[in-house]
Structure 1
């Protein structure tokens, strides 16, 4: 039964590990929830630098020590 469920990127796994919902992050960062969902699904999807900066800033404000490089490669 392994492998069942949704595909997740490093970013998506981070959200799951800490119980952060996409809607909470969307409200805190100002990034559309669909954009957050897209980048949480696959490592092939990367946000624009503007949206990535908003996401990282919101996570840092919430007390998480994260950087762009933790989730996405340049």
Structure 2
């Protein structure tokens, strides 16, 4: 069950809208669950470029048209 009153970032909202879990993103991107959780909780958190690339590679397996600007303003 998604959206239980938690504050979500654009990345977190994207996961929710595609019925994907943070665990899925963690395993696909090979990133720590705590990192994914932090990035899904608030738009104030911006990953470094290497982390961003790993996340985008995983996201593009579901949405090939996803862009960095969809999740983070740089």
User: TM-score normalized by structure 1?
Assistant: 0.87
**Counting helix residues as a fraction of each chain, which structure ranks higher?**
1
Distance, in Å, in 2 between the alignment partners of 1:47 and 1:37 is 12
Q: Which runs of 4+ in 1 moved over 4 A?
A: none
Q: Paired residues, what number?
A: 70
User: TM-score normalized by structure 2?
Assistant: 0.87
Distance, in Å, in 2 between the alignment partners of 1:71 and 1:63 is 15
Distance, in Å, in 2 between the alignment partners of 1:40 and 1:63 is 17
Show the counterpart of 1:56: 56
Show the counterpart of 2:68: 68
3-state SS in 2 of match to 1:44: coil
Distance, in Å, in 1 between the alignment partners of 2:45 and 2:28 is 21
Aligned residue runs from structure 1 range 1-74, under 5 A:
5-60=5-60, 62-64=61-63, 65-74=65-74
Q: Where do 5+ consecutive residues of structure 1 fail to align?
A: none
- Let me know the Cα RMSD of the aligned residues: 1.2
Distance, in Å, in 2 between the alignment partners of 1:6 and 1:63 is 24
